Each structure stands twice: as C-alpha cells, then as structure tokens.
Amino acid sequence: MSASAIYILDVKGKVLISRNYRGDIAPNVIEKFMPLLMEKEEEGSLTPLLQTEECTFTYIKCNNLYVVSTTKKNANIMLVFVFLHKIVRVMNEYFKEIEEESIRDNFVVIYELLDELLDFGYPQTTDSKILQEYITQDGHKLEIQPRIPMAVTNAVSWRSEGLKYRKNEVFLDVIESVNLLASANGNVLRSEIVGSIKMRVYLSGMPELRLGLNDKVLFESTGRGKSKSVELEDVKFHQCVRLSRFENDRTISFIPPDGEFDLMTYRLSTHIKPLIWIESVIERHAHSRVEYIVKAKSQFKRRSTANNVEVVIQVPMDADSPKFKTTVGSVKYMPEQNSLVWSIKSFPGGKEYLMRAHFGLPSVENEETEGRPPIQVRFEIPYFTTSGIQVRYLKIIEKSGYQALPWVRYITQNGDYQLRTN
Amino acid sequence: MTDSKYFTTTKKGEIFELKSELNSDKKEKKREAVKKVIASMTVGKDVSALFPDVVNCMQTDNLELKKLVYLYLMNYAKSNPDMAIMAVNTFVKDCEDPNPLIRALAVRTMGCIRVEKITEYLCEPLRKCLRDEDPYVRKTAAVCVAKLYDINAQLVDDQGFLEQLKELLSDSNPMVVANAVAALSEMNEASITGSPLIEMNSQTINKLLTALNECTEWGQVFILDSLANYSPKDDREAQSICERITPRLAHANAAVVLSAIKVLMKLMEMLPTDSDFVTTLTKKLAPPLVTLLSTEPEVQYVALRNINLIVQKRPDILKHEMKVFFVKYNDPIYVKLEKLDIMIRLASQANIAQVLSELKEYATEVDVDFVRKAVRAIGRCAIKVEQSAERCVSTLLDLIQTKVNYVVQEAIVVIKDIFRKYPNKYESIISLLCENLDTLDEPEARASMIWIIGEYAERIDNADELLESFLEGFHDENTQVQLQLLTAIVKLFLKRPTDTQELVQQVLSLATQDSDNPDLRDRGFIYWRLLSTDPGAAKDVVLAEKPLISEETDLLEPTLLDELVCHISSLASVYHKPPNAFVEGRPGLRKSLPARNENTSASNVPQAAVIPAPQESLIGDLLSMDLTTPAVVPTSVQPPSVDLLASGLDSLLTTSDLPAASSSNTGLLGDIFGFTPTPVSYSPPKQLWLPSENGKGLEIMGTFSRKNGQISMDMTLKNKAMQPMSGFAIQLNKNSFGLTPARPLQVLNPLLPTASYETSLPLATTGLVQRMEPITNLQVAIKNNIDVLYYACIIPMNVFFIEDGQMDKRVFLKTWKDIPAENEVQFTLKNVLCNTEAIVLKMSQNNVFTIAKRHVEGQDMLYQSLKLTNGNWVLNELKIQPGNPNITLSLKLLAIEVAQGVFQAYDAILHS
C-alpha cells in the first residue's frame, strides 16, 4: 500500500540521493527510469506513472530534478503523489530551494529527513516546522540532545507548546484568484473563483481561534438569509480546522500553527464578468508580417484600481523586428518566450487602452505548425474580492487572556486567465 | 560550511585512510569519517569493506553519528549478515535508552535490517517498545510489526504481536492508532491464507472513526483505506459511517479526499438509491472532485483516471460539471487526453452544443495525438447523442475541408461509424469523402473508406473503379485493408453482378492464391464457395443486417468497474486493471462492492456494452454472419491445385479436428521431461506426428536434429494396420526455410504389420521458400501403397543455426548499433537452472556463439550471435542475475519473424 523507495535524480537520471524503505525491489531498477521516460516521451504517451516488469515508477519533476518513488504493490497512488510534492515542500523550506547543489550540501540532513518523513513506505511527520525542532542542520552536540517535540504525536501535531510573543498579532489575507477561459468570439466558456485565506500568526501559548465569514449556508440556517452572503462551493481546510464542527454548524474553529500557513481554500464557479477584457485582432500575412491590435478594458468599479497588469501575447517563433505603439504602459518583446508583454502599472476601473504591435516574418515558412496560444492576463486588485466574501470576525481566546490584534486584507488577482484568439 | 566537501576525496588509498580515521580516538575525526563513508555510499561507491569499522562507531552519544551508522547498516547488513550480528547488542541497548527518539530510532532501524539472524533478537525489544510510555516509540513499533511480518510472518503470529497490535487500535494516541491500522492493513493484504488476520467489528470501527478526527493527514488516509475494506452489517451502520466520513471531503490533502470518496462510493451501494441521504451525498461529492482539478498536474491525472471510473459508476454525480473538463492550452498532454475522455462520457443532449464547439476548437490544435482524439470524440458524440448527429457530421465535414491529412483520415474513420449507426441518412456526403481517397495512407482510414464504398456500392456510380484502384497494390496493403477490400468487392458484386464479375474473380484469386495470410485466404475461400454454390445464401450472409453498434464506447465491463471502484485512489484505479494484473504474488481476494439489502443493485448498472476496438468492428462486420449455416461443400469448388498438397490443404481447411498438427504445435516444447538426447546438439524428443487413426494404420513419431552441419528429420514409422506397407515416398510443402529432402526416404520395404522402422532423412535448404505461420511450421506428405497422408509439424529453430555463426567482435558491436530499436525483441527465460558457464557451453554446442561476456552490477551479460541457414544473423543479449532463475533475453535481428522461434530454441536448449 505504499512506496518502496524514494530517489532524487538529476536531469540526466543520475541518482543524487536515495532511500530504500522496503527492500522488495532491486535498487538498480532506477537505471531503467530515464530510458523508459525518454521512450515514452518520444512516443508521446508520457504519463506521471511508468510501468516496468518489476515495479511502477511514480515521479514528479521540479527544478530539473526528478523525485521518483517505486512500488510493486497496488499502492495508494494519490497518497504517493501528494507525498512527493510534500517532500519537495519540506526540502524547500529547509534549504530554500531544492536543487542538485543543495542536495549535496545537505545530504546528512536529507537522510535524516527521509528517515523521519516515511517509515516502511508510510508517510509520518511531514510538517517542516515541527521537523525543524528536532532535525537541525548543525550537528547535535553531546550536551543538548534533541527531544521529540510533543507535537509529533499530539492531537495538535502542528503547533508546539510554550510559544511566546511580546505583541500578539494575526494577519489574515483573503486572496481570490479568478480562473477564466473565454472563446475567441468573446464567450466566457468557464469562470470560477478560487479563494484562499492565508494567515500569519504570531500568538503566544495555545490560542483557540474562531473565524466568522458571510457564509450563505450559515446565514440561512441562522435566519439571516437576507444579508449579503457568499455561497462557498467547495471549502478545503488546513489540517488544524475541526472538520466535523464545520460540517455540523459551519463554525470554523482551530488552534493555528505558528507563523505562515493557508487556513482554507474555497471555490465558486459562478459566471463572472471578466475583470479585464481583451479584444484582439491578429492579422497574419504569410511570409511577410503579423500585426496585432489589442484593446484592454477594465470592467470593475471605478473606485478600484488594478495594479501590475500584464497582457501576455504569444507571437510566432520566427517573428522579428518588433514595433509597438501604445497609449499607456510599455510593451516588451520576450524572444526567449516567443511572446510580447504589455505592462500597465496602474489600470483604474472603467477604462479602455489600446496597443498595436507589428512583427516581420521570414519569407521561408516555418515547418512546424504553431498553435494559437491564448492571451494571458496577469493583474492584482487590492481591497476588493470578486465574490464579496467578508471576514465578519476573528475571535482569539487563550487561557492567559491576552488581547490580540487581527489584521485583514483583501486582494483579487488573476488565476488561470486565458482568452483564446483567432 | 556545507556537506559537499565529503564528496571530494578521490585519493587511491581512500578505503585505507577511512579505515584509520574511523578507528581514530578523536570523536570529531570519527564523525567526519563516517560522513565521508556515507557520502561515498551516496554516489554509489562500494564501501561495504568498512563494515566492522563503521559498526564500531555505533556506540556513541551523538545522535547524528548514530543515525548515519544506522543508515550504513541498513544498506550493507544484507551483504554482511554475520558481521551484522555485531550490531545487535547496541540495538538492544538503544531500545532501552532514556531518550525516546533513540528508542524509536533503534526499533525502526532494526526492522529494516532484513537479516534472519537479527530478526530473532528483534522480538524482545519490539515487545517492550509496543508498550512504551512514549507514543512516538509506540507508533514506530507498530510499523515495525509489519516489517517483521514481511520478513517472517510466522514469527509475528507465534510471538503474539498480532494481539498487541490489535490492542494499539484502542490506543489513546491517534497517531499510534493510525500506524497500527496501516500495519494491520498491510499484513491483511499480504496474509498467506488470503483471509484477513484481524476482522474488524463495529466497535473497532468506532474507535477508528474517532481517531480519524485527530490524527495527521496521512493517518487519516490509512484509516480511510482500512475502512474501505470493512463491510458494515446493515445499511444503518453504513449510513452512520458515511455521515462521519463526509467532513473529510473538506480536507486540503487530495489523498484524504479521494480515500474518503472511495469509502463513500462503496458504502452508498448498500443504501437505497432513492433515499434522501444518497441524493444529498451525491450532491456533496461533486465539488471536491472538481477541486481536485486545480491541483498539481500529476495529482490531476490520478483524479481524472478515478473520475473516469466514478462517471461510469454514477453518472449523476458530475453530470452538470462538463465545463470543468474543458481543456486548457497549457495542460500537459496526459491531462488533456483524460479530460477529453471524460467530456465524451458526460456528453448529453443538454450540453452537446458546448461540447461540440470545444471539440472543434481542439481539432485545430497542433498536438497530433490530441487532435486525432478530438476528431474521434466528435464521432462518438454523434453516436451517443442522436440529436447532435447532424451537427457532428457537418463539423466533421468542415474539418475534412481543412485538408490536414491526419484530421481527414481520422474523420473518415469516425464517419464510417456514423454511417453504421444511422444508415441511409448521410449518404449525400459520400462524394465529398471520395475526393480525399488519394490522400489516405493509414490502414484504418483506407479500410474505413473501402467499407463505405462497399456498403453503398449501389449508389456510387464508379464504385467498381474506385475499388479497382485499390486492388493494384493489393499485396502491399495492411491486412485489415485487404480483408475489407475483399468484402467490399464481394458486396459490390452481389449488388451489381453484371459488370463486376471480373473484379470479384480477381480479388478472390489474389486473396486465396497469392496470399500468405490464413485469415485472408479463409475469408476468400468462404466467399468463393458461397458465391459458387448459393448466391442467394451469399447475399443473406454478406449483406445481412448489421448489429447495432453501442452508444457508449470503451465502457469497462461492470464487474471490473465495481472492483475498480473498491480500489479508487490506488494504482489499479489509474491503470484500470485489477491489482492482480500487475502485482506479483498470490492472486488475492478480489474486492467487490457490497450488495444492497433489497437486491436491486443490478438495476442501475449500465448494460454491458460491447467494447469495439475500431479494427474489430470492421472485421466483425464480416464475422457477424454465422459460419456454420451455409453448406460448405469442399469438392464443388476447384481451388487452384498445383502441387501435391493442394487437396490436402483443402482437407486441412475443412476438417476441424487435426490432432497431428495441434499436438505438434503445442506439445513440442512443453513435453520435455528432462530427457537427455544422445546427440550433443539439442534435439527435442520424438513427437507423435501422425497418429495411426489419421494415417490409415501408419503411425509416425519424429523429431529434427542437426549433426555435422546436416539437418535431418528423424522418424519412427510404425505399421499398426493389418497389411504390409510399401512404396514409401515423402514430399515437403514449400516452407519458410526452403527445407527439402536431400535424398529419397528409405524405409524397410515392405513394412510388416506391427513392425516399426527408424529412419533419418537428411534435409537440404535449397527448396522453394514460402512463409509459413508459425514460421517453423512444416507440412509433410507421405505416400505409401495405401494412401497419401498429410501432417504438419514444427521444426525446432536451432537446427537452422549454422556452424559459422560466430561474428567478429567489432562487426557484432557495429551490427548491434545499426539494427534499429524496433527490431529488438525481449523475452524472459524462466526457471533456468544452469549458471553462466553452463549456458555458454550449452549454447555453443548448438552453434550459438558467445562473443563477449561482461559483469555489470552484479549481473552477467552475455552477447551471442548465430546465423541461420538463410544467411540471416541474429544477435542476442542475455542478462543473468545470480540467484535469479529468470533470464532476460533480448534479440536484435532484421528478420523479426524468427524471434519467437529463436526464443523457443533458447528455452528448450537451456531446459534440456
């Protein structure tokens, strides 16, 4: 039901570090990984699972490294993938960035971590804050032998006891990402809001927190159905939130981890009027030039302003001699990404801007046919949520009875925001 | 200061130096040395020689050092089992250390040292650790029981660890409970008897459900997975478990969510379908499934494969969520393809317009595989949603106008299916399709187009010309095109007999006389006979009404689907195969969904629909007729009879029982019972080639051998008839290697009743060559005073291995590289009991020459060459792992057809 071994490979398939947990598969089986991966890639049938006679490889790729697990059983493969991503996260938190060099530089700690993260193929403690309390980077001296933090086996496995802050503060960021897919003729095919509430907690002791939102289900059940509320479709909570309590009476109650974490995410698939709308006319004159006329329009209230707006438009690989003309912002050609980026620092609501671009094309046609990549838009609108979600209260109760300050901030930004072109 | 400095020692006397450093008095130096050792181990150097020195460092107060030594032990104990014993004392001592971190570390590491002798010493410390006051130690010990079970299951049973583990299920600490559950599930899965070691009852389940709320995310997965194996006693219990699990759907960890969905999907089977509870629950399942699609691509992939199952099992759950499966430009291709698949499954009248406009968009993308699948999807929509058929057809026509070659071909393949589903509706477009006839180069598209022409021959004025144009290159066509062409022309003939007689004769003679393909020949003969005996019957058969093609394609078979639903989130759910199809070991209990109390579970299961792979549906077209009804009169036809065997072949074709041929086909390699043949080169024992019942009293046993560069057919002829036999003569049919008798058959003349005679007929390879199926098949005719008798036998490939088959080393290397990868075939030789030397010897006695031998990472690689009588070289690579009776054989050869035969020869020789 689990992983047999974990390998971290460089981009050529050389093992940088590995740990065999079950010994049921010959360690050299990993030599088959890279050839198999290349073979599948060539066939165009590459999936994140590779099957050989001896085992199944499950892998993810990050920063030119492959993190691979092997199994010869009918393992819970969802768990394996989520765990592989978790390994990467823990190592990133330990070494800033996981890459070939940081692995060599820290191999002793990595072995220790691998020993603690997984036992006989079963994930154990994967919370890097807790791990950092007893697996440290400087070798342990005789005098201070590390102890297991209580948290490892506590019901509250994410927070250590005895934390102390002079000033007790909580920062709460409500960040909504707008995912949008629109067809070339201007129809919104799909739109949704993926919200997340991120917290930075600097609180002493073991505080008990309760968060109140304008949740529609809660309002309806408590007879406040008329007030402005939001229907949260699929809420996902951090480990610390008491799920059964939420299921029962929609109360979000929890003992938070220390520092930064994602408290919850939610999703609303409602029809959204695109906050920034792009109209584009692309004229391709084969063998000579291609011209873009792009109109960007902000469709939110005048009192809000979008910051750092970037409209990213893919251009043909063999385009040359770019010429741009725009009323607002600046345009840059990024040849390495085959794209042009139109950046507008500040874009108030209810405005409309225009940009023209002109590229030359070689007279010899490119053999590879290129697709019609969609236009992507990046933006950030502070003090504003698309869904209208509001934090009504954040109650903080600790047995010492200190007063704590909650700070709340709202931001709407682009998620996967794609507008197809003709 | 980083650890990378430990990697930089490259001096020659490294091991020596490390040895002295390890034995240093200075703690600091010792620790540095151990780190260097581990660094060497990490980069793959063999540092096992330092075993005793490293073990000496084990007794230390430094935790970091201890961990490194333990790590070393885990890696090398297996290769030094005797010395590993040295470590036992420290382990036992560490299991009593005041620091729980060390106690846990010791018991965890000990379980990972898979050395039988150590295992004995593990039991006492493990027993103590299972009762340790610290939950961290208990949770580690719980997993250790599973480790021990893996090494020695009996010991776990004898020592009462099962009971102790069961007690841990009620432990006050949720982490301990979770690990105990994981260990138990693992052992249940591996249990030798196949029955679970510990049965769960509702009390234990209750405890698990309580622990579920408190343990880590991973622990929740362990508990949920074990709940999925539990069968509640009634629907009330099932419902209450569902209620307590539902909150898990809001967990941030995708594995927790999917495991919860697995349990819910399973338990829902037990609840009445129309109850409010099930309706609400169904609604609750959609959002978490959708959210899984905004995760990392790999996680999405697993989710999509599982959603594919869920959509088949309970189509209601996601029926309104079509849009979330729309493909994004930057999705990885494996995600795109899975999304497409689900889109088709969810397509319905309500959403078809959206789906079609999406599919049309996809069909103009650049990724060929994806585009093909999108075009195919449009066809599937047409078949599934009748109201949309017209729009699908017009969309497909638009796509054909693009003239993009692979789009056109794919479109034609699906249009054929649309014609099948809605006959006499869209024929007006045939002329448009015909315009693209010349551009079709893929067999499936060609076959589809031919099918369309044949099916609508009466409406296409120039159908005969079109089909004739295909006929020119008949022998170069793929089999499926040939078969389709044959059928289409026969259809045409039946519809327009006056002017197509010549055409039909041409195709029949091409199919029957000039083809090596038995399927094609058979079909040709059947048509020929049908047409010449009873054209009316031919019409009934060939132009019979076709069975409807199913609406849903590629649906999983319902029992398999039910089994896979029980395996949601596991590898089986991604492969869409039951676990025993890819997991070694005992077959295991196959899981099945629980039955609902009222026994109505079958009612909402979709009917098992056929899974028509595209080619099969084409061929199936012909075979939808019943082969037994038309009277087949062999003598009424005059097939081209040119050689001695022709009439014999004919009887082979019509009589269904052919004991001689069949026994020699299957038995040749299977029947080798350690029989050591006298010649040095391998020759299989004699087989019964012609039983006396078929030989009019003559029984022939025989085999082939190679002696002094001469192939011979060794036979024992026995007269079981009541009269003497005389006038023996032999003839061989044309065969793959051109075998022909080098001199006449010599038999005692006359052969008296009950007498037998041993004869050896030398064979030359100068005869006519014709490819046989299998390639080693040989058809023989024996004549005597009584009759002409026919039989078929299989020639062991090794008799064709000639004496000068030793290739020059350099030539070998070059040839090996030059032969393309698709000409490499791999086999596994099972249960070979000889060592490398014996293999070299045995093979060389059979003219297989070892060119090179290499020892790579604990396994022997042998490179061998052989040459066949027809001058073809075969290059072989053998991968032999000491202690493993299975050997991997890779062949590289230009004539790929002989690969199977060469493998069988290897198999037989090595087992002789």
Strand pairing category for A405-419 and A169-182: parallel
Contacts of A148 in chain B (CB under 8 A): 100-101, 104, 134, 136
pLDDT at position B47 over 90: no
Indicate the length of chain A as a whole number: 422
Residues A375 and A393 in one domain: no
Identify whether the C-beta of residue B781 lies closer than 8 Å to the C-beta of residue B648: yes
> Is 80 exceeded by the pLDDT of residue B72?
yes
| Shared domain check, A288 and A233 | no
**Which of B283, B292, B207 is CA-nearest to residue B241?**
B207
Q: Element (H or E) spanning A147, and its range? A: none
Please report the sign of the dihedral spanned by the C-alpha atoms of residue B210, residue B215, residue B219, residue B221: positive
Q: Give, rounded to a whole angstrom, the gap between the first and last alpha carbons of chain A.
A: 48
Structural domain contains residue A332: yes
What is the C-alpha to C-alpha distance for residues B172 and B212, in angstroms, rounded to an integer? 13
Q: Which of A56, A140, A147 sits opposite B64 (nearest CB)?
A: A140
Do B83 and B52 contact (CB within 8 A), yes or no?
A: yes
For residue B647, give how far its alpha carbon lies from the nearest alpha carbon of chain A (Å). Answer: 47
**Nearest CA-CA partner of A205 in A6, A29, A402, A7:** A402
Query: For residue B613, is pLDDT > 50?
Result: no
Q: What is the mean pLDDT of residues B161-171?
A: 91
Helix (H, G, I), strand (E, B) or coil at B778: strand
According to DSSP, residue B551 is labeled S
Q: Which of B312, B814, B794 is nearest to B563 (CA)?
A: B312
Domain C-terminal end among A132, A153, A184:
A132
Q: Based on the domain organization, do A188 and A265 belong to the same domain? A: yes
Tokens of B514: 């000039």
**What is the average pLDDT across B706-731?**
85
- Which CATH number covers residue A119? 3.30.450.60
Question: In angstroms, rounded to a whole number, what is the distance separating the alpha carbons of residues A17 and B8?
Answer: 16
Does the pLDDT value for residue B642 go beyond 70?
Answer: no
SS3 B41: helix
Are A223 and A259 in the same domain? Answer: yes
Residue B556 has pLDDT above 90, yes or no: no
B621 confidence band (pLDDT: 50, 70, 90): very low
Q: Does residue A142 fall inside a structural domain? A: no
Q: How confident is the model at residue B663 (pLDDT cuts 50, 70, 90)?
A: very low
Running DSSP on this structure, what letter comes out for residue A215? B
Q: Quick one: pLDDT band at residue B116, thresholds 50, 70, 90?
A: confident
Choice among A77-91, B342-356, B740-754 with the minimum mean pLDDT? B740-754
Q: Are residues A12 and A91 in the same domain?
A: yes
Indicate whether A103 belongs to any domain.
yes
Alpha helices in B77-115 (DSSP H): 81-94, 100-112
Helices (H), B567-703: 571-575, 614-623, 646-654, 659-670
In a domain, A268, yes or no: yes
Q: Which of A377, A114, A104, A387 is nearest to B43 (CA)?
A: A104
- Please, which pLDDT band fits residue A277 given cuts at 50, 70 and 90? very high
Domain match, A332 and A396 both: no
The residue length of chain B stands at 912
A chain contacts of residue B254, beta-carbon cutoff 8 Å: 78, 81-82
Q: Is the pTM of this model over 0.95?
A: no
Strand B740-741: give its sheet, edge to edge. Answer: B687-690, B698-707, B710-719, B756-764, B740-741
Nearest CA in chain B to A244: B247
ipTM (interface predicted TM)? 0.87
Do residues A376 and A400 both lie within one domain? no
Determine whether the interchain pair A140/B62 forms a contact, defined as Cβ–Cβ distance below 8 Å: yes
Query: How close does chain B come to A286, measured CA to CA in Å?
Result: 17
Q: Are A123 and A268 contained in the same domain?
A: no
With contacts defined as CB-CB under 8 Å, which chain B residues touch A119?
A: 108, 140, 143, 179
pLDDT of residue B632: 35
- Which of A83, A107, A132 is the endpoint of a domain? A132
In a domain, A154, yes or no: no
**If we measure between CA atoms, which residue out of B911, B821, B839 comes closest to residue B875?**
B821
d(CA B644, CA B641): 8
DSSP E strand boundaries for B625-765 = 687-690, 698-707, 710-719, 729-732, 740-741, 756-764
Which CATH number goes with the domain that contains A411? 2.60.40.1170
The residue of chain A with its CA nearest to that of B321 is A269
- C-beta pairs of A149-156 under 8 Å, 24+ apart in sequence: A151/A127, A152/A125, A152/B136, A152/B175, A153/B134, A153/B135, A153/B136, A153/B139, A153/B173, A153/B175, A153/B176, A155/B174, A155/B214, A155/B215, A156/A206, A156/A240, A156/A255
pLDDT given at position B147 = 93
Task: Tell me what the pLDDT averaged over chain B comes to.
Answer: 83
A144 falls within a domain: no
Is residue A163 included in any domain, yes or no?
no
Q: Choosing among A2, A17, A29, A77, which should be mutated to test the B contact, i.e. which has the most B CBs within 10 A? A: A77
* First-residue to last-residue Cα distance in chain B: 63
Contacts with A, B 157-176, CB within 8 Å: 173-176
C-beta atoms of B101 and A51 within 8 A: no
Same domain, A124 and A254: no
Q: Give B244's contacts in chain A (Cβ within 8 Å).
A: 244
Q: How far apart are the C-alpha atoms of B371 and B362, rounded to whole Å?
A: 6
Residues 6+ apart with CB under 8 A from B40: B9, B14, B47
Residue B814 or B330, more confident: B330
pLDDT for res A226:
74
Q: Which of A134-138, A281-285, B322-326 has the lowest mean pLDDT?
A: A134-138
Cα A190 to Cα A343, A390, B334, distances in angstroms:
25, 24, 21
pLDDT tens digits, one per residue of B727-760: 888 888 888 888 888 888 888 778 888 888 888 8
DSSP code per residue over A225-269: TTS--B---S-EE-TTB-HHHHHHH--EEE-PPSEEEEEEEEEE-
Residue range A101-133, pLDDT digits in tens: 999 889 999 999 999 999 999 999 998 888 888
- The answer to whether the Cβ–Cβ distance between B136 and A22 falls below 8 Å is no
Tokens of B800: 């064709």
- Asked if A79 lies within 8 A of B298 by C-beta distance, the reply is no
Q: Which domain holds residue A124?
A: 5-132
pLDDT at position B243, please? 94
Domain count, chain A: 3
Q: Is the pLDDT of residue B142 over 60?
A: yes
Same domain for A50 and A128?
A: yes
Cα angle B686, B692, B694 (rounded to 5 degrees) comes to 110
Instruction: Answer positive or negative: Cα dihedral of A114, A120, A121, A126.
Output: negative
In a domain, A12, yes or no: yes
Contact check, Cβ <8 Å, B38/A145: no
Residue in A closest to B827 by C-alpha: A53
**Closest Cα of chain A to B186: distance in Å?**
7
- Taking the C-alpha atoms of residue A239 and residue A253, their distance in angstroms, rounded to an integer, is 11
pLDDT of B674 higher than 60: no
Chain-centroid distance of CA B33 in Å reads 48
Distance from CA of B44 to the nearest CA of A (A): 9
> Using one digit for the tens of pLDDT, what is the confidence trace for B526-555?
998 888 888 888 888 888 888 777 766 678
Q: Which of A82, A117, A132 is the last residue of a domain?
A: A132
Judge whether residue B582 has pLDDT over 70. yes
In this structure, are A14 and A118 located in the same domain?
Answer: yes
* Alpha helices by DSSP H, B276-429: 276-291, 297-313, 333-346, 352-362, 368-384, 389-401, 405-421
> Same structural domain for residues A256 and A295?
no
Backbone φ, ψ for residue A333 (5° rounding): -95, 130
Residue B582 to residue A56, Cβ atoms within 8 A: yes
Average pLDDT, rounded, for chain A: 89
- According to the model, what pLDDT value does residue B619 have? 37
Backbone angles phi, psi at A391, to 5 degrees: -85, 115
The pLDDT, as a whole number, for residue B293 is 92
A-facing residues of B in 564-603 (CB < 8 A) are 567, 569-575, 579, 582-584
Q: Strand, helix or coil at A314?
A: strand
C-alpha B71/C-alpha B106 separation (Å) is: 11
